[in-house]
Amino acid sequence: MMEQHEHIVRSYEEELALLNNTIARMGGLAEQVLGQAIEALERRDAELAGATIKQDEEIDELQRQIEAEAVVMIARRQPMAYDLRQIMAALRISIDLERIGDLGKNIAKRAVAVVMEQQPKQLMLGLKHMGELALGQLKDVLDAFIERDADRALKVWYKDEEIDAMYNSLFRELLTYMMEDPRNIGLCTHLLFGAKNIERIGDHATNIAETVYYLVHGTAIVDERPKGDTTSSTPVALKRSAV
């Protein structure tokens, strides 16, 4: 990447810095929401889940703020080249982070819903592991954004496959539980949605990785991303014989 010299107009520099800082703050909050949501689910902690749900509001507010700032900057500064890419990146990343916040909040809501249920350890472990992986991806991609590190973003992009693979195996596992005993269906459905949410969070992290790559290089990633989530084409009925 080129060296980034300072703008002649200092207020422009300040506005861009503010935009970057707001993204960083939003990212920090999104990490927190996701981390807490998984913890709340695992520990069956309704209080933590409630606090997490509330925290998402702050993310939404920051997203509106970034959008407003970006629109005004485009109108007033008419950004070019790297500046334009920075503003477009901030806009796009803020949308992904807002979605991550929503998905995290949804996990927290499910944590409240299943608070009274007896949870199979094995399943919870899988879900927790998947959540940690997604959280790691989110952390890495946010660091990649802050450091303008396209290679690191690319690593995140490729690594999403692991989350997809975990989701596939959790999907099968949950299906098995449900088939074993219909009384598991309530809990398992919540956990399945929780897992799906985490899988989606992983997808948003890869979106951010793509944005970081574009921000740094000015071009899109050309490689075809390996798509690991095969659950949408998994025939459920066939699994019955395995149970």
Partner 1 sequence: MEAKVAPQPAVQTPAPPVPETKAGTSPAEQHALKMKASNVNLWYGEKQALFDVDLEIFDRSVTALIGPSGCGKSTFLRCLDRMNDVIDGCRVSGDIRLDGQDIYDPHVDPVQLRARVGMVFQKPNPFPKSIFENVAYGPRIHGLCSTKAELEEVVVGSLTRAGLFEEVKDRLQEPGTGLSGGQQQRLCIARAISVNPEVLLMDEPCSALDPIATARIEDLMEELKEQLCIVIVTHSMQQAARVSQRTAFFHLGKLIEVDQTSTIFTNPKEQRTQDYITGRFG
Q: Give just the sign of the alpha carbon dihedral 144, 148, 151, 153.
A: positive
Near partner 1 by CB under 8 A: residue from 3, 181, 223, 224: 3
Listed residue (50, 23, 52) closest to 35, CA to CA: 52
User: Among 28-36, 114-122, 215-223, 230-238, which window interacts with partner 1 (CB under 8 A)?
Assistant: 215-223
Q: Which is nearer to partner 1, 6 or 181 (CB)?
A: 6
Listed residue (108, 176, 106, 166) closest to 134, CA to CA: 166
Beta-carbon contacts of residue 123 (< 8 Å; ≥ 6 apart)? 170, 173, 174, 177, 188, 191
Query: From CA 93, how far away is CA 194, in angstroms rounded?
Result: 22
User: Among 2-10, 51-59, 105-113, 172-180, which window interacts with partner 1 (CB under 8 A)?
Assistant: 2-10
Cα separations in angstroms, 58 against 5, 128, 154: 33, 25, 29
Q: C-beta of 64: minimal distance to partner 1 in Å?
A: 26
Q: Which is nearer to partner 1, 177 or 213 (CB)?
A: 213
Annotate 26-53 with DSSP letters as a single string: HHHHHHHHHHHHHHHHHHT-HHHHHHHH
Query: Within positions 5 to 34, which residues make up the interface with partner 1, using CB under 8 A?
Result: 5-9, 12
Binding mask 65-104 for partner 1 (x = CB under 8 A): -------------xxxxxxxx-------------------
Q: Which is nearer to partner 1, 59 or 153 (CB)?
A: 153
Q: C-beta of 217: minimal distance to partner 1 in Å?
A: 8
Q: Which is nearer to partner 1, 9 or 243 (CB)?
A: 9
Q: How many residues bind partner 1 (CB under 8 A)?
A: 20
Contact criterion met (CB below 8 Å) for 212 and 144: yes
Q: C-beta of 213: minimal distance to partner 1 in Å?
A: 12
User: Is 158 an interacting residue with respect to partner 1 (CB under 8 A)?
Assistant: no
Contact criterion met (CB below 8 Å) for 167 and 130: yes
Number of C-beta neighbours around residue 107 at 10 A = 30
Q: Which is nearer to partner 1, 10 or 121 (CB)?
A: 10
Binding site for partner 1 (CB under 8 A): 2-9, 12, 78-85, 217-219
